[in-house]
Amino acid sequence: MTRADAQSEPGWEIFARAQNGEEVAWRALMSHYRPRLLAIATLVTGNGTVAEDVVQETFSRSLAVRVRNYNGTVRGLLGTIAYRLAVKATQRSRREIGPLDDQVADPNPSALDTLIDNERDRAVTHAIHALPADQREAMVLRFYAGHSYEEIAAVLDIPVGTAKSRVFYAVKACRELLKSKGVLE
């Protein structure tokens, strides 16, 4: 995330206003964070429908959150809630994990662009799901939830060095698998 992105990101003031029922603030939070939360939930659950439910539950639960430490970010808070809810949903369902089923990036893609994007997304999703659970968790928290290594360590209750190691080996394994499938050069 660039510094400009961080400055345009809704912060604690907007979060507090949303919790107090201000609709404009609530819409700002949802429009800004929903895509990232959906990506986290989809990667953890492997199911777009369950991921949508997780995102809705994340926003619902955020209404009751009492923030004690404002050193973190709203993105980190919402990402952690979404991650934990997605893990619980996955544990409840115990279903076979499938490919991403409803990701849309370009409002007017050509048929070929759509096919290529879908195949690449599917390959990346399968690579992430092929990782051991501990590496997959760390990778999703780092790249999709946007957590720092310290935040990952706190969420997973592991040392910071272990968090860094898990992310490193997850990226390495995904890169190797994607290269073997011809997705990366």
Computed on alpha carbons and rounded to an integer, the radius of gyration of the chain in Å comes to 17
* CATH match for 109-185 among 3.90.1170.50, 2.60.40.3500, 2.40.160.50, 1.10.10.10: 1.10.10.10
Q: Which residue has the higher pLDDT, 114 or 104?
A: 114
- CATH class of the domain at 1-98: mainly alpha
Position 45 confidence tier, pLDDT thresholds 50, 70, 90: confident
The C-alpha atoms of residue 31 and residue 103 are separated, in whole angstroms, by: 16
Domain boundaries, the chain: 1-98, 109-185
The C-alpha atoms of residue 125 and residue 127 are separated, in whole angstroms, by: 5
pLDDT value for 115? 59
pLDDT value for 113? 58
The pair of three-digit structure tokens given for residue 94, joined into one six-digit string: 């115990």
Tell whether the model's pLDDT for residue 102 goes beyond 50.
Answer: no
**For a pLDDT cut of 90, what percent of the chain falls above it?**
29
How do residues 86-100 score in pLDDT, each as one tens digit?
888 887 765 444 444
